[in-house]
Structure 1
Amino acid sequence: MRSPSPGARSPSESHTSLPINDEKYTFHSSSNMYYTRTNRLQLALNKIKKKIYRIPMRMKLLTFFTLILLSFAMIKGLMIFTSGVSSWMNTIPPLIIEKQDYSPVKYVEIDPNASTELPEGVSIYHVTKEFGEASLRGLGQMVTGLSRAQSTNTSIIVNVVMPYYSFLSKLYRPHKFAQFVIKVRDRNGVWKDVKFLVYRLFWNIMNNEDVLANNSKENPSHIISVFMIGPASNVVPLNQAFKAPNRAKIYSTKSDLPLEWMDLYFCKAAAEFITYRNIMIDTPLFAKSDTRGVDIVHIHGSSNALTIEFLKKFHKSGKLGKKIPAIIYTIHDYLEEQLYSNDIINIQKFIEFDKFQQDKPQYFYNNRMYMSGYAIDNSQIVTFVSKTLAKEMIEGPMEFPFRELIMPNILNKAKLGQWFGITSGIDFTAYNPFNDTMLVESNANFPKNIYNFDPVLLYAESIEGASQELVATSKQSAKAYLIREGLLNKEDLIRPLILYIGRFEYSKGLQFFNVAVELFVKMDAKFIIMGQKNNYPSEKLKRLSANSPDNIIYIDDLEFQKDWDVIYRAASDILFIPSLTESSGSVAAEGLLFGMPIISTGVGGLKEFLVNKTENDNKADYNSYLFELVDDLIISLSFDNMKLAIIEAINDWKRMNADIREKEIFLRKLIKDAFKLSWNRPEGPVEHYLKIYKMAMLQIHDKLEEELWLDYDNNDYIFDD
């Protein structure tokens, strides 16, 4: 049988040889015919076009915009879903640590005879997330006040390294200082160059420690160089770093930028910048002394702790140069700072850890690194913002949540004489009742005759014809101004004005407010609740105001507070601080400066300067009405104690309000107590920090002579591993 030719097709193959499963064809079984998909699609489109042509133009536009809105809604929903999944996946696992008991260690005071003298031109770099207008908590107030006070010492050069939050561009015009590059791993684990700019702001401040000086020329100006780390310029999502519309949002991030990434980015960028400043010494032509590089790196807060590790890595690679800066780490609170941590996966995007986790397991729990303990161990000196609390931590009986994370480290530092408490001072420039512009314009600024006031003359003259300016008159003027502006009622001029100012959180004792408000209303007092939203439900505070609008004012608008809080402070008669914990108590100290006695628990750092009124205290030697916090977990046990303190404070105000002379003497006593808390007071915080800076530098170098700083060839010191 002859085989068919290669090109021939058998009868049975005449149709079935067509590629039935080919994408271009479909099989119609009933008629055994083939149609292309293109033809059928064209027929369908033609039918749709005819229907569309018949639709009125108005309906077409409506349909078009509806589809656009639906598309946006779907995209937004997907983003929310993705964000929710991301948040769920990044939830920090619960931390469970076995409770430990520690043997007490005797606290060693800073030597009062130690020298504060440092070589001329010593440079200090404060590394912080908060400073100046970007201050949300006590941390920012402390760093701002300390830097400002240190700048009055002409032998040291003060610098600040902080993020360049986007809202600051509306307040300042810093110039571009330099561009830098750091390495960050991409999603594939490959190191990539991340570029960023550093901006420089010359912060011109006035030495306002002497707020009573009549001539402003007596207060010379000083310069602080504020270096602000900008977001990445070439990498997503780090290009979204530090996008904050106001200071309340400085610890927030865009949905696609994890907060830990932003923190780690800042640490590495800060270390890169400090390294540059250490090796690129640029002495101005007419400077009195040579620029010395970086002498002190002062780390504030555990979220900046890994700056130390990056500096160590740069040192080992030879990048840091021969000069090694001393590291100071300041702990600003004992409730949250020790709990700050980073996931090891996030850390490895920014640094090569090798076997760090295996070699240093004491810093890790649940694959997270807890930073405060690391910073303590890798600093020359560690400080806390309250001397009293620093002493109680190591000597007992003070306990605080999850202290096991840092107590072994603190105790070790204490044994080495490297653990100190330095109580913060008052920054008279930040809140000044004597020279504030709004108070001056409203004729409510306090008189400056605090120390040259004659009480005998006060009693010899009538109040109406008094020849000496009175603080009591200024406080009444502040009330009258708020009444004219519609922010107080006319009745408030003759009733006590009680102020709470601070964050709305449980640790500040806001659980006391319900009971306190009942008593304020009963005693016809006005209560102003002013502050920032936090973990305490603001709805509860709003409800208090809604239920008693004549007696309660609720203020949470930060811009409003920025404009008006100084005059509210000047007008207020009593400050209410029912805190469960308090590190330094700066708000209370500022309250005294504005002539307000304090109703408080007196816990933590408050006990360093608050003097309670006792039953037999007939003299005005007190500045507060303290009540015992029986149990910080069962607040109700302290309600009766609080009521007694409130009743006594309000009754004393009513009595003094009827005797302006007694009131004036008392107000001036409160203000004098505040002046005792200045940053530059003798044996105060500025002197103490100068002493520990010298101690830290001596840990690295045997001597501090000028010539030693220029040659490090014989210095075999390296950062401890």
Structure 2
Amino acid sequence: MSPPSHTLSLPVTTLSSPSTHFRRGSTTTVLTCPPSKQRPQRLPLNTYPFFSKYDKKWRWWHYMSILILVTGLLETIALSLGYHFLLEQSLPIRIAVRQYPSLPYQHFNTSALSSTQSILQKGTTVYHVTKEFGPATMGGMGSVVTSLAAAQQRSGNTEVAVVMPYYSFLKNKYDIDRVVDLVIDLRDKQGKLVPIEFRVWKMMHVFDPPPPPTNITTYTMIDGVNTTTTKLSEPVVIPHTERVPVYLIGPGNRNPFSQAFRCRNPLQIYSSPAGLPQEWRDQYFAKAASQFLMHQATAIDEESLFAPLLRSTPHVDVIHLHGATNAYIAKFLDDKRKNEDLGATPPSIVYTMHDYLDELQYTNTVGNVKKFLDTAEFTSNDINHIYGDRMFMSSLGISRADVVTFVSRTMATAMVEGTLDFYLKELVMDHLLLKAQQRRFFGISNGLDFATINPFKTEKLVTRKLNYPEYAQTLLDRSSLVSYQKDLSAKRVWEFSATSGDFVATAKDKAKRFLVRRKLLSDAGAKRPLVLYVGRFQYNKGLEWFEQATEHFVANNMTFIILGQENNYPFSKLESLQAKYPDYVHILSTPKQHRQWSIFCRAAADFVFVPSQTESFGLVAAEGLMFGASVISTGVGGLQEFLMDRPEATLVQEPDSQAWVPKYPQPRDVRLVRDKRTKIPTVTSGEYYNAYLFDSTNGLATAIRDAALDYKRLLASKALREEYILRMITSAKALGWDRQGKGPVHEYQHVYALALHHRSLPSLTRHEIDEEQGLLRQLYQDEVSL
């Protein structure tokens, strides 16, 4: 029987070129078709699953699916970012409103301050720690610290030094020398201490620099021939009492602290570069300054025991901290003092509050503070100053300092006696009242330094012949100055010159014409009374009054110059005022404009506008008085210490001219007499007002109206206008740091003596050798001096 045959059925009609492949055990025959004749058989469409003729085209459901997917992705990202953002946000801080007992304010006995030598030992070393000083001054605190240091150094009773950041714009402008290299420890992200090296520099600040040496040309006759000889004048030797050392804390050697204190001008000293948080910058300066002060206080430990006895031992007696941004230094120093790391006689700590609103709100987060701690946790005393996740620095400085002062005696009295209600007072009142009970809280009003701000000697005014005349300066020196308590019984007698160039009013008119030549004022603006505002553009400075005040200035034909720096008040509102009254309102807000115009605007101003809602001292108002400008102000806070309101008046219409003039309940206490032969005017005045105060919208309109009417009245008599201007300058000169031997300088000496008395001394067993050596030096110096 033959084997069965195998037949292969293929869906082709023609086969050709058979090929045979042999496999082991079987035979496979593959038949192929020529390529040109191979035709695949197409199946019906319904035989292919999931296949559609529309699959290659985008339909609306495709777009909808992608949109839903993208929306879901964006929502997921937003929820994730929002969650992390909420985690980083600080928890709301709740502070219970409390009532505090009223304590009688007790000031020290000022009658005992006439003999300063009995209060504070001569040669006491005082270190002022500040963010603003001298060439690095942005606001009022820098001016106050500079003038205070100058007055203390001139008194000869203290040796003054200053510690401040090394701002980059100071480089290459002053002779700065290296002092010492030091190290502080900071914590990294893992909480480990990492050393940061920094350098301390030193420059000498001269308060009233003398003019540079000039060429002196002399003419001599030799054998009938004129000979010209030119030589350089001798340089002026600066007295020791006219300069102080300024120690500059440099940046660190690690990023981001290597970027610390970089700024191009004084207006940026409170800003921080990208990558370095502001709180890190402040904490870095606090710890670095504390380390340097500890080095200065304990430098005797590095001296040889066989050093000459006559060499004066380096020491620090008082460390005076200014402002809340430096308050944490009190904690660093107090901790070192308790650990007996500040030598045998550790320095005392004095903390001065320059503001009772902004300083109380200055805080650092707990995490940022811990980064700079030497220990892992806070002490029990430090926890009392933490609310939520924020540490309030001002209350910490008050608690840790030996003595606390405020820049206004009136305001300090109101705080203690409970008549002043201010925002967040619950943060500091417990500590202030405790200090007041211990008689270690005092109000010491600020003063003016007439060497740095002097319209009679300022270089920019002198070079352009716009300085106030020497004859007026002589009259002011001869006049009996009004005491700080406003002695209203005495009358001033002014014997003016017959020459118009000897009048301050003439100098003010020249300053206005200078501003016209420089295109700042128009010709019509120079004939109007000039009102000047100087300060930051922020709400608590009273800028909400500006719109109403500008309307009244324009209605009374007064020019308004706004000189300041941008802050929390919208700058666009000020620009709209300038756009609405282009010939009446002028805004100067850039650093360049400040440098160019500030002194000339002050010299030309007839009034200064100080509408502050809170004011600790009122430096702008006091400086305005120094330039002979009266003050239009709210008169709040420390302003009431030296501002006296004008006498009350009502408007009446004159029968002849039909003009409205002010009528006073009592006749004006001013008398003008002219010599019949020389025509020299003499004015006898019993008036002492220097301000136009207001407290409401109607009061603002009345104050501006009275100021404009007074200016119009004084234009009729140059002598009466000069008496008015000199009266303003006289009230400013009564605000000097040394007020007839009982001024703020002597009160601060009493504060320093009190702080030295209250400081805690370490045990003598550790430093008895150093104390014995210092005692021997002192005895040797006393014997030599005898």
TM bucket (normalised to shorter chain) is 0.7 to 0.9
* Residues 123-177 of structure 1, C-alpha deviations (whole Å, 9 max, x = no match): 1111111111211222111111111111113332111111111112153231111
Relative distance call for 1:327 and 1:708 in structure 2 (3 A) is: farther
Instruction: Determine if the alignment matches structure 1 residue 676 to structure 2 residue 734.
Output: yes
Q: 1:451 aligns with which of 470, 476, 498?
A: 476
CA contact (8 A) 2:334 2:400 kept: no
* TM-score of the two chains, using structure 2 as the length reference: 0.73
Relative distance call for 1:177 and 1:396 in structure 2 (3 A) is: same
Instruction: Write the distance in 1 (CA, Å) between the matches of 2:148 and 2:82.
Output: 41
2:783 matched residue in structure 1? none
* Residues 197-218 of structure 1, C-alpha deviations (whole Å, 9 max, x = no match): 111011122399xxxxxxx989
2:597 matched residue in structure 1? 564
Q: Secondary structure at the match of 1:99?
A: coil
Alignment of 1:169-188 (within 5 A): 169-188=171-190
Alignment of 1:248-647 (within 5 A): 248-281=267-300, 290-356=312-378, 358=380, 360-447=382-469, 448-451=473-476, 465-466=498-499, 469-615=502-648, 616=665, 618-619=668-669, 620-628=687-695, 638-647=696-705
CA contact (8 A) 1:422 1:688 kept: yes
1:244 matched residue in structure 2? 263
Q: 1:691 aligns with which of 744, 750, 761?
A: 750
2:164 matched residue in structure 1? 162
Q: Secondary structure at the match of 1:507?
A: helix
Q: 2:191 aligns with which of 182, 189, 192?
A: 189
Instruction: Write the distance in 2 (CA, Å) between the matches of 1:154 and 1:89.
Output: 56
Q: 1:651 aligns with which of 703, 709, 712?
A: 709
Greater mean deviation of Cα atoms: 616-625 or 573-582:
616-625
Relative distance call for 1:428 and 1:457 in structure 2 (3 A) is: closer
Residue identity over aligned pairs, in percent, reads: 38
CA contact (8 A) 2:187 2:193 kept: yes
CA contact (8 A) 1:322 1:713 kept: no
Instruction: Write the distance in 1 (CA, Å) between the matches of 2:93 and 2:290.
Output: 30
1:3 matched residue in structure 2? none
* TM-score of the two chains, using structure 1 as the length reference: 0.79
Instruction: Write the distance in 1 (CA, Å) between the matches of 2:461 and 2:85.
Output: 46
* Residues 563-612 of structure 1, C-alpha deviations (whole Å, 9 max, x = no match): 32111101011111111010010110111010001000000000000000
Greater mean deviation of Cα atoms: 357-366 or 304-313:
357-366
Instruction: Write the distance in 2 (CA, Å) between the matches of 1:226 and 1:91.
Output: 39
1:663 matched residue in structure 2? 721
Relative distance call for 1:355 and 1:188 in structure 2 (3 A) is: closer
* Residues 543-571 of structure 1, C-alpha deviations (whole Å, 9 max, x = no match): 11111110000010123212321111010
CA contact (8 A) 1:132 1:144 kept: yes
Residue identity opposite 2:555 in structure 1: K
CA contact (8 A) 2:525 2:583 kept: no
Q: Secondary structure at the match of 2:116?
A: coil
Q: Secondary structure at the match of 2:198?
A: strand
Q: Secondary structure at the match of 1:587?
A: helix
* Residues 412-452 of structure 1, C-alpha deviations (whole Å, 9 max, x = no match): 10111011000000122332100011211222211222336
Q: Secondary structure at the match of 1:449?
A: helix
- The CA RMSD over aligned residues, in Å, is 3.1
2:652 matched residue in structure 1? none
Instruction: Write the distance in 2 (CA, Å) between the matches of 1:709 and 1:662.
Output: 70
Relative distance call for 1:417 and 1:712 in structure 2 (3 A) is: farther
CA contact (8 A) 1:268 1:310 kept: yes
* Residues 271-305 of structure 1, C-alpha deviations (whole Å, 9 max, x = no match): 1000111111499x999982441100111112212
Query: Which structure: larger Rg?
Result: 2
Instruction: Write the distance in 2 (CA, Å) between the matches of 1:571 and 1:86.
Output: 56
Deviation at 1:89, TM superposition (A): 7.0
Instruction: Write the distance in 2 (CA, Å) between the matches of 1:256 and 1:401.
Output: 32
CA contact (8 A) 2:406 2:412 kept: yes
Relative distance call for 1:84 and 1:229 in structure 2 (3 A) is: farther
Instruction: Write the distance in 2 (CA, Å) between the matches of 1:86 and 1:562.
Output: 45
Residue identity opposite 2:98 in structure 1: Q
Instruction: Write the distance in 2 (CA, Å) between the matches of 1:427 and 1:502.
Output: 19
Deviation at 1:337, TM superposition (A): 0.7
Q: 1:96 aligns with which of 77, 94, 109?
A: 94
Instruction: Write the distance in 1 (CA, Å) between the matches of 2:178 and 2:774.
Output: 37
Instruction: Determine if the alignment matches structure 1 residue 711 to structure 2 residue 771.
Output: yes
Residue identity opposite 1:478 in structure 2: A
Greater mean deviation of Cα atoms: 674-683 or 686-695:
674-683
1:109 matched residue in structure 2? 107
* Residues 597-643 of structure 1, C-alpha deviations (whole Å, 9 max, x = no match): 10000000000000001224623320000012xxxxxxxxx211111
Instruction: Write the distance in 2 (CA, Å) between the matches of 1:178 and 1:333.
Output: 34
Relative distance call for 1:623 and 1:191 in structure 2 (3 A) is: same
Instruction: Write the distance in 2 (CA, Å) between the matches of 1:340 and 1:126.
Output: 20
Q: Secondary structure at the match of 1:450?
A: helix
Q: Secondary structure at the match of 1:152?
A: helix
Deviation at 1:116, TM superposition (A): 2.8
Instruction: Write the distance in 2 (CA, Å) between the matches of 1:502 and 1:84.
Output: 39
Relative distance call for 1:467 and 1:543 in structure 2 (3 A) is: closer
* Residues 377-398 of structure 1, C-alpha deviations (whole Å, 9 max, x = no match): 1111100000000000111210
Instruction: Write the distance in 1 (CA, Å) between the matches of 2:84 and 2:575.
Output: 32
Deviation at 1:308, TM superposition (A): 2.0
Instruction: Write the distance in 2 (CA, Å) between the matches of 1:292 and 1:269.
Output: 19
Instruction: Write the distance in 1 (CA, Å) between the matches of 2:642 and 2:102.
Output: 25
Aligned residue pairs, count: 609
Relative distance call for 1:190 and 1:600 in structure 2 (3 A) is: same
Greater mean deviation of Cα atoms: 252-261 or 509-518:
252-261
Residue identity opposite 2:273 in structure 1: K
CA contact (8 A) 1:271 1:310 kept: yes
Residue identity opposite 1:621 in structure 2: Y
Residue identity opposite 1:107 in structure 2: Y
Q: Secondary structure at the match of 1:476?
A: helix
Residue identity opposite 2:726 in structure 1: R
1:634 matched residue in structure 2? none
Deviation at 1:322, TM superposition (A): 2.0
Deviation at 1:356, TM superposition (A): 2.8
CA contact (8 A) 1:502 1:532 kept: yes
Instruction: Write the distance in 2 (CA, Å) between the matches of 1:294 and 1:458.
Output: 50
Q: 1:135 aligns with which of 119, 137, 140?
A: 137
Relative distance call for 1:108 and 1:244 in structure 2 (3 A) is: same
1:700 matched residue in structure 2? 759
